[in-house]
Amino acid sequence: MTVPDTASTTHARLLIVGPQGSGKGTQGIVVADAFGIPQVATGDIFRANVSGGTPLGKRVQAIIEAGDLVPDELTSELVRDRLGQPDAAAGFLLDGYPRNRGQVADLDAFLAGRGEALDAVIELAVPRAESIARLTQRAIEQGRTDDTEEVISNRLAIYERETAPILDGYRARGLVVRIDGVGTLAQVTERIFAALAVRGMVPAHPGAA
């Protein structure tokens, strides 16, 4: 993409939100690399703590083994721990957190305590039918026979019920940049960078994309 002739942003505290199948995990990696910040995904945090045998990881493992969901309080604690690490001092891209209004409040309180706030919320907008088609195709390619259309629809329903509503609050703050998530990886990335550039946020390493 053509990068505006301005100084690169010194920090970027971003959140990427989108339904399963929207490509947010892939786009998150590309955007984080371009801005020189870590992609902070809750799934990765859980796995790292469990495999590392940390006190937090042991609590997560016990909950998962019991077949329960990791509660908001513990999820927020894990994210705070990750954001407190040196590589996140100059910024970060959150993926998978916050998932609901309670976690939004936890994140707000944590960032406010550090004198920080989110700079932008990237919303990847993908029609439900497109998400289902992508996830169904991925399930076939990966041999995941348990990922039926019914299961996939249920996951999307949870997103629509619990996560999508957080965008209303972020829109009220003027933070949301809504991106058309249908297209090639490069096309969607171009749209994200263009939308962020309008806000004066220029990637430190645009070539990474």
Tell me the catalytic residues.
Answer: 24, 99, 138, 144, 155
Two tokens, residue 109: 């309180």
Residues 6+ apart with CB under 8 A from 194: 1
* Residue 177 backbone phi and psi in degrees, to 5: -110, 115
Residue pair 111/118 in contact (Cβ under 8 Å)? The answer is yes
CB contact set of 191 (below 8 Å; sequence gap of 6+): 179, 180, 183
Would the CA dihedral through 191, 194, 196, 201 be positive or negative?
A: positive
With contact defined as beta carbons under 8 Å apart, do 157 and 104 qualify?
no
